[in-house]
Chain A
């Protein structure tokens, strides 16, 4: 044998891997998803139900990272489906199809020790805009001292929805702490009595969801349309969904079983 042994081993390994990979993929299609941390819990529940319904006909792989990662990954073909909790933007790459799958409420949250009875849009803008900095000047606050604001990074769909629905043209306070996920904001608000933040309705356990304009941030109020802070969830594909992804998305948008899953914590479309 005049072939260097280490190289032969590496070559054999590479050959083995390349033979194995397509064999697995042919047997069962894999749907990969990435993106919004708000959509992730819903996508994972839906995927579990779908696997039961179709007899484990596909493999799912769910990653997170924020809506913009989902959109970028879908556009670049790194994933089958990108999850987005924000509406399409003019700066998004061309050729993407946004399929609306559900609606979701964005809740303003405070620590349980500081249950604010209600807040209106001007109040949200004053606090998050940084013009009111102490809890003593917020009506109904059970807390004194400086307000600790947690917001999301610019790439987040929740940030986009919050800016559009609650803040309008008011800029968020420059000293606010920027967090990368819903869960992180929930954790910070849970452990800091002076904190305020905003999350998707699913992440309101263990914190106080502040009623907006007198309407509690609950699933029922979001479904009835009374709660003002609702936004859309999308699944994003490059071109119209094809194959296994098409079957899965149309199952989400049309089947009663999917609507039941969505109805546990989100607003079904019909």
Chain B
């Protein structure tokens, strides 16, 4: 504090300027988001208002409905809007949910391995590799899956009898829930591993060592103390992974079937071989129909549902982290 008052005043002014500029930028971001939500909903409104709650329900073949909407007559008063989007919503929940569950299990175990059990040189290699995997663009995963995994599943895993059992309803050609879930899991696991690893590292050494001193083995100490302390970070990782899975479009459009079908759990093993198309993949597949007004409004309705679900997702993540605050160091 030996510097004169003039210097301190100068520093204060610079701080205020930066504060103002950054504040303006974040306000602009907020404004942009608000504008986006209003825009999407105003575009989507006719699709919701014509169908009411039936929009979210099952009924008929959703692809046929989309085609009928696309082939609407030119007269605006005769636009077709009938849509029962249940198969798409169900596919989104199914594929996202299963892959996030799988990814959570895998990432917890591998993060525990990296932090506690891996020899130092393996951990040194693993961590950058995991970060690299997290950054690979999804279309690359989609291409590899389409060229390798889909033909393999279609030609070698699914039996002829299984194909014939459903042949008048759908075709089992390898593009399936199974491939979609597998590739999506591979895509979102690295992000979760990276976050959970950092969280486990930041758990004070003394806590786990204390547990170890009481006689429990390393795995148990990590599970009961380390994982428990890192729970908010695990929730944050799961939320981030779910958001990425929800928004994944290109890869799923390539490998999960391009068919608006609701896979039936009663079909047994065949269930996993059945095609399904998520909301985001539907938007990509039908983006070329935006020029037809009712089709465009329907596609915006899909976008609106995705927007709302990701908003709910962040809210649920926030609420979960809040309720766990008392167990942890960081009050985030």
- Given known A-B contacts A155-B289, A175-B261, A4 and B173 have beta carbons under 8 A apart: no
Give the complex CA separation of A184 and B284 in angstroms. Answer: 14
State whether the Cβ of B174 lies closer than 8 Å to any Cβ in chain A: yes
Q: Which of A25-33, A188-196, A220-228 contacts B (4 or more CB under 8 A)?
A: A188-196
* Min CB gap A212→B, angstroms: 23
Q: Give chain A residues whose Cβ lies under 8 Å from the Cβ of B169.
A: 175
A178 and B63 form a contact (CB under 8 A) = yes
Q: Please indicate the chain B residues that have their CB under 8 angstroms from the CB of A194 in the complex.
A: 173
Are A146 and B171 within 8 A (Cβ)? Answer: yes
Q: Does B71 contact A (CB under 8 A)?
A: yes
Residue A239 lies at the interface, judged by CB distance under 8 Å to chain B: no
- The residues in A between 19 and 76 inclusive whose CB is less than 8 angstroms from any CB of B are 65-69, 71-72, 75
Chain B contact residues, majority secondary structure: helix
Q: Which residues of B contact A180 (CB under 8 A)?
A: 253, 258, 284-285, 288
Q: Given A154-B289, A155-B289, are A175 and B171 also a contact pair (CB < 8 Å)?
A: yes
Within 8 Å of chain B (Cβ to Cβ): is A6?
yes
The reply to whether B164 and A145 contact each other, CB–CB distance below 8 Å, is yes
Q: What's the Cα separation between A174 and B150 when bound, in Å?
A: 21
- Give the interface size bracket for A toward B: 35 or more
Known contacts A156-B288, A187-B146, A192-B154, A177 near B175 by CB under 8 Å = yes
A247 interface residue per 8 A CB criterion: no
A75, B259: Cα distance in complex, Å: 30
Contacts of A171 in B (CB 8 A): 64
- List chain A residues, Cβ under 8 A from B20: 4
CB of B155 within 8 A of chain A? yes
Also in contact, A155 and B286, with CB within 8 A (given A133-B167, A187-B147): yes
Q: Which residue of A has the minimal Cβ distance to B158? A: A146
Chain A residues within 8 Å of B18, by CB: 4, 6
Quick one: which of A68, A179, A192 contacts B291, CB cutoff 8 A?
A68
Once bound together, how far apart are the Cα atoms of A91 and B295, in whole Å?
12
- What is the CB-to-nearest-CB distance from A170 to chain B, in angstroms, rounded to a whole number? 14
Asked whether A95 is an interface residue with its Cβ less than 8 Å from the other chain, the reply is no
Give the shortest distance, in Å, between B312 (CB) and chain A (any CB). 29
A191, B74: Cβ atoms under 8 Å? Answer: no
- The answer to whether A178 and B258 touch across the interface, beta carbons within 8 angstroms, is yes
Chain B residue at smallest Cβ distance from A175: B170
The interface residues of chain A lying within 8 Å CB-to-CB of B253 are 180
| Chain B residue with Cβ nearest A157 | B288
Q: Does A148 contact B (CB under 8 A)?
A: yes
Please state if A177 and B292 are interface contacts (CB–CB under 8 Å).
Answer: no
Contact of A133 among B147, B151, B168, B291 (CB under 8 A): B168
A93 within 8 A of B: yes
Nearest opposing residue in chain A for B173, CB measure: A148
A217 beta carbon closer than 8 Å to chain B = no
Are A65 and B287 within 8 A (Cβ)?
A: yes
| A192 to B67 alpha-carbon distance, docked (Å) | 26
Kindly identify which residue among B25, B66, B171, B288 contacts A177, using a CB–CB cutoff of 8 Å: B171
B189-224 interface code vs A (CB 8 A; 1 in, 0 out): 000000000000000000000000000000000000
List the A side residues contacting B173 at CB < 8 Å.
148, 177, 188, 192, 194-195
**Pair A4/B17 contact, Cβ less than 8 Å:** yes
* A–B complex contacts, Cβ < 8 Å, 18 sampled: A4-B18, A5-B17, A6-B18, A67-B288, A68-B289, A90-B74, A91-B72, A145-B160, A145-B163, A146-B160, A146-B172, A155-B295, A175-B261, A176-B171, A177-B275, A191-B151, A192-B154, A192-B155
18 more A-B residue pairs beyond the given contacts A4-B20, A71-B291, with a C-beta to C-beta distance below 8 A: A4-B17, A6-B25, A65-B287, A68-B288, A69-B288, A75-B291, A91-B71, A144-B160, A145-B160, A148-B154, A149-B171, A175-B171, A175-B259, A175-B261, A177-B171, A180-B288, A191-B147, A192-B173
- 7 closest A-B pairs by CB: A72-B291, A66-B288, A155-B288, A175-B170, A148-B173, A191-B151, A146-B163
